[in-house]
A and B are shown apart, each in its own frame.
Chain A
Amino acid sequence: MSTPVIVNNTAAGTPPPALRKVEARENRIQRLSTGVLLAVIGLMLVWGTFGTAGDAKIALSDAFDAVQLPTIVLPGAVTVALCAVLVLGAALAYLSGRFNKRAMTIAGVVGGVALLIGFITWAAAGSMAVFTMTNQLQGTLAVATPLVFGALCGALSERAGVVNIAIEGQFLTAAFAGAITGSLTKSLLAALIAAILAGMAMGALLALFTLKYFVDHVVLGVVINLLAAGLTGFLFHQLVGSDTAKYNAVPIMQRIPIPGLEKIPFLGPILFNQTALAYLAILMVPAVWFLLFKTKWGLRVRAVGEHPHAADTVGINVVATKFSSVVLGGAMAGLGGAYFTIGSTGAFRPDMTVGNGFIALAALIMGRWHPVWAALMAVFFGFVTQLGQTLNPLGSPIDSQFLLMLPYVATIIAVAGLVGRVRAPAADGEHFVKE
């Protein structure tokens, strides 16, 4: 040991080869439950085949579009039967368990698409009216707008380790603040800013009580939701109820077509003829992703959400970092809340957010706490919600009340059956107490 050189030993600084694996119990349960679910749906489609008569007309553009695309006419019974076969095939692929991961993903996608086409064809077959695909997708984006904002809000707080089930309450407060401010000032911008501030204030409330007073995150989230419902309801009756014209008549955001892009066949009307809020939602997805994964601040946020004590030992101010992320998330929820009043209906009603905050939360979990995946899941829920709207006037065989239930049914199936186990940030919901 004459020359003190640190030895470079045999084990290089790389991971060792993995141990052999068998199918994990949870994966097996998830695979089988998905298979059974698909099989049940497939059988329902088979049953639907017998009641289907006539053609389903699916339009790719509506009457006002610059470029008119042909309307697809699908023979009802044949299409539904074909889709049923595809869904059952996917179910068999899941149940047999003989395929690799890639093949299973393909089976899942084929099964899912077949399910959608089969369902739409079944619902639209025999109707004189046309199922307009552009309207469906354009509506999807609009309906998904608050869900995307909500999911981003959740991503920002939960990545920092603060469980946020108060998105619903943040939506409601922001919707109210936007409505009041918009009515009084007749300014959309002022209304939008008021909504953002309201969302941030509710976020700050959540952050303050969880980070400083160590209140249980879930309990506090419930309380904030109740508080928001109570507070907005009270103020609505006391303040607004007397003079609706003065206090509850908000200017509504208009669709802003983007010149040029809007003329692209099919995609143009869907993506480039939306409200400012919808464009903002689309832009915020990569923005939040960049913030969380490509900036110093994002690295710190994820660090305090995973292992706050480790972050503490490298000199990061854990509480301040969590606080900033939760409040920024509040701003997202504020934008989402603004959709309900200035973005769509133009007036506030008590409890008008009807569980959208919780669906955003479901999207967050299904998207595995990743902003981009969470946003895609939010769009999926938007699609299902809009489906009810689009199918309703077709005089479809389904009861319209049942269609209203669709997004919630989809949530249960998606969260319980298709997602399975997901890994939350390690210290999500935990209190950070210095030793």
Chain B
Amino acid sequence: MSTATHEVASQAPEVLHLDGITKRFGSLTANDSITLGLVPGRIHCLLGENGAGKSTLMNILFGLLRADEGTISVGGNVLHLENPKQAMAAGIGMVHQHFMLIPVFTVAENMVLGREPGRFGKLDLNGARKLVRQLSDRYRLDVDPDALVEDLPVGIQQRVEILKALANDARYLIFDEPTAVLTPQEIDELMVVMRTLRDEGRAICFITHKLREVVAVADDITVIRRGKVVGEATPDASEGDLAELMVGRAVNLTVDKAPPTLGKERLVLTDFTVANAAGTIVVDHLNLTVSGGEIVCIAGVQGNGQTELAEALLGTMAVIHGTAILDGVDVTHMPPKKTIEAGLGFVPEDRQRDGFVGDFSIAENLVLNRTTSFSSVGNLDLGRIRSNADERIEEFDIRTSSQSQPVRSLSGGNQQKVVLARELSRPLSLLVANQPTRGVDVGAIEFLHNRIVKERDRDTAVLIVSTELEEVESLADRIAVMYRGRIVGVVEPDTPRDVLGLMMAGVPFEEAARSVEKSRTEHADV
């Protein structure tokens, strides 16, 4: 590690300045004269809500977009970054939010893509493997050069992304929302990685909207809102202050909810087993009961069968074994139309794809699941559809100029409100919501959470799937941790985060609690 420090130090890295960067997309100003400095040896957090313009700014810095105004310079030299190649040549590297890796290529092939070793046009794969091993040894980030990327867990895929940037000896490293897909343990490891790279003398730019992470790792903090820098902060700022700066008003970060009043058991899953199209068993003999009046959150790292569980309940995936009973009715093999009639409300994981028809108006989307009850003799009853839309828009505080606006043009938060408004506009036995607040701004999260709690208090059974631990902790009356298609354990919502984290990696509750306890006492001794 010491040699590496010298190497970087000898290049005498200088501050990277972004000066008055402005970028417009049509009438929308995504970046409004943003000025920012990335200092070697420091972690600079760029904090802002979804759609605040963070990713646009970083895409400009990485040469993927071109700024309309403003300059990027290092030590007084203005950089002209027309494409990623030039950015990389200037020492800028990026760990993308959606990994820029080719799933069917090996780690080694991904690592060298774009600057392949070998003579006379021939690809030298042994050279590529050697490069992976060297980097992997140097940064102690273990990865198998011959593994196919698609077979690797996301945490390791991210490692490959980081090594890819380091292979280019990036001195200015951008991490674009890197924690969204990681377990708490993996997030801790990532923070160690970022600190190490900082201590080597690299400048780190860490983009996130998660306040806890900012406070944990940042040296400098810049907050942007609607494309503008609205403030700078030091790491000792409180999460509440940062949230207020980010949203523009005081926000309540916790959900107000009374203790649950348990009703009768509404959903009973027995040995529930689901196979995907490839025949892989993704939900494996799962047993779970959800009562009316409680919120059960399924916590877990993405891809452990949560989504398939939700879809199988709706009826869009094949259940190969076991039963699902909803209010005494066997819904195991029912198609979606029947499960919806049986009282299931469903909020899909990817609302853009499965939640609504983007080009349809708000009013039309609000009645998609009940077109028959909004029509007479086969014709849509437009008057009632309109008045229904007015009511729902009012009730759910959907911010729009008109009910005939296509849903595609709404912000993420308002789109999700449309979906939830549609699902909650009839009496439900069970609400299944998959990632109900993904890509939604803080203000809307507050609203959606309160609305879900209100539904619980109507004696509906609520099953939430979420990979965001904050959300799980604030909503859940019980937490069911899922790992590789099974429930590792069902625990109380006040279970410590590190215990949950271990459970999300498959460690049973008692063992996880013991191991966390042990490491705490060890730390106390030091």
Q: Contact residues of A with B, CB < 8 Å?
A: 1, 4-9, 11-16, 18-27, 294-300, 302-303, 306-307, 309-316, 426, 434-435
Q: Are B189 and A295 in contact (CB under 8 A)?
A: no
Given A19-B280, A307-B102: A314 in contact with B185 (beta carbons within 8 A): no
A19 to B485, CA, bound (A): 9
Q: Is B248 an interface residue (CB 8 A)?
A: no
Question: Is A13's CB under 8 angstroms from B277's CB?
Answer: no
Complex interface: chain B residues within 8 A of A24 (CB):
275, 277-279
At the interface, yes or no: B380 with Cβ under 8 Å from chain A? Answer: no
Q: Which residues of A contact B85 (CB under 8 A)?
A: 314-315
Residues in A with CB closer than 8 Å to B74 are none
Provide the residues of chain B in CB contact with A15, threshold 8 Å. 147-148, 151-153
Q: Which of B65, B105, B113 is most buried by chain A, counting CB atoms within 10 A of its CB?
A: B113
Interface string of B187-205 (1 = CB under 8 A from A): 0010011011001000000
Measured CB to CB, the closest approach of chain B to A3, in angstroms, equals 8
> Which residues of chain B in 130-165 are interfacial with respect to chain A, using CB atoms and an 8 Å cutoff?
136, 139-144, 147-148, 151-153, 155-156, 159, 164
Asked if A14 and B280 sit within 8 Å, CB to CB, the answer is: no
Residues of A within 8 A of B62 (CB): 313
Contact between B281 and A307 (Cβ–Cβ < 8 Å)? no
Residue of A with least CB distance to B107: A13
Stretch from B117-125, B259-267, B337-345, B401-409 contacting the other chain: B117-125
Could you say which residues of chain B place their CB within 8 Å of the CB of A27? 279
Instruction: Report the 3 A-B pairs with minimum CB-CB distance, sorted nearest first.
Output: A315-B85, A13-B143, A314-B114
- A sample of 19 inter-chain contacts (CB < 8 A) reads A1-B195, A6-B196, A8-B142, A9-B185, A24-B277, A25-B318, A26-B277, A294-B123, A295-B121, A296-B121, A296-B123, A299-B109, A299-B116, A303-B105, A310-B101, A313-B64, A314-B115, A315-B115, A435-B64
Contacts of B64 in A (CB 8 A): 312-313, 434-435
Q: From A10, which residue of chain B is reached at the shortest CB distance?
A: B505
Between B114, B275, B484, the greatest number of chain A beta carbons within 10 A of the residue's beta carbon is seen for: B114
In the complex with contacts A24-B278, A315-B85, A315-B114, A19-B143 CB distance below 8 A: no
Question: Are A16 and B84 closer than 8 Å at their CB atoms?
Answer: no
Q: How far is the CB of B279 from chain A (nearest CB, A)?
A: 3
Q: Which residues of B are interface residues toward A (Cβ below 8 A)? A: 1, 59, 62, 64-65, 83-85, 88, 94, 96, 99-105, 107, 109, 113-116, 118, 121-123, 136, 139-144, 147-148, 151-153, 155-156, 159, 164, 185, 189, 192-193, 195-196, 199, 275, 277-282, 284, 318, 320, 484-485
Q: Are B113 and A316 neighbours in the complex by a CB distance under 8 Å?
A: yes
- On chain B, the residues within 8 Å of A1 by CB distance are 192, 195
Instruction: Report which of A20, A23, A299, A426 forms a contact with B113, defined as CB distance below 8 A.
Output: A299
Find out whether the CB atom of B281 lies under 8 angstroms from the CB atom of A19. yes
Question: CA A31 – CA B320 in complex, angstroms?
Answer: 19
Using A6-B193, A11-B153 as known contacts, say yes or no to A22 and B320 having CB atoms under 8 A apart. Answer: yes
Which A residues are CB-close (under 8 A) to B155?
A: 11
CA distance A435 to B358 in the complex (A): 20
B277 touches A25 (CB 8 A): yes
Tell me, rounded to whole Å, the shortest Cβ–Cβ distance linking B284 to chain A: 7
Contact B123 A303, beta carbon cutoff 8 Å:
no
- Minimal beta-carbon separation of B4 from chain A (angstroms): 11
CB–CB A6/B113 < 8 A? no
Given A13-B144, A310-B100, A315:B278 Cβ within 8 A: no
Contact status A306-B280, CB under 8 Å:
no
* Complex Cα–Cα for A23 and B320 (A): 11
* Residue contact B114 to A19, C-beta cutoff 8 Å: no
Write the nearest CB–CB distance from B86 to chain A, whole angstroms.
8
Residues on A with C-beta less than 8 A from B196 are: 4-6
Known: A22-B320, A24-B275. 16 other contacts (CB 8 A): A7-B192, A9-B189, A21-B280, A22-B275, A25-B318, A295-B123, A296-B118, A297-B121, A299-B113, A299-B116, A302-B105, A306-B102, A310-B113, A315-B85, A434-B64, A435-B64
Which residue in chain A gives the minimum CB-CB distance to B110? A310
Q: How far is the CA of A313 from the CA of B97 in the complex (A)?
A: 13
Which residue of A7, A16, A426, A434 is within 8 Å of B189 (Cβ)?
A: A7
Q: Are A426 and B192 in contact, with the CB atoms below 8 A?
A: no
Which residues of A have CB within 8 Å of B318?
A: 25
A20 to B321, CA, bound (A): 14
Distance between Cα atoms of A400 and B142 in the complex (Å): 65
B84, A312: Cβ atoms closer than 8 Å: yes
Q: Which of B121, B142, B279, B485 contacts A22 (CB 8 A)?
A: B279
Chain B residues with Cβ below 8 Å from A434 are: 64
Establish whether residues B277 and A6, one from each chain, have CB atoms under 8 Å apart when the complex forms: no
- In the complex, what residues of B have CB within 8 A of residue A303's CB? 102, 105, 113
Contacts of B189 in A (CB 8 A): 6-7, 9
Q: How far apart sit A127 and B362, CA to CA, in the bound complex (Å)?
A: 75
Alpha-carbon distance between A131 and B65 when the two chains are bound, in angstroms: 67
- Is the pair A5, B140 in contact by a Cβ cutoff of 8 Å? yes
Closest chain-B Cβ to A435's Cβ sits at a distance in Å of 6
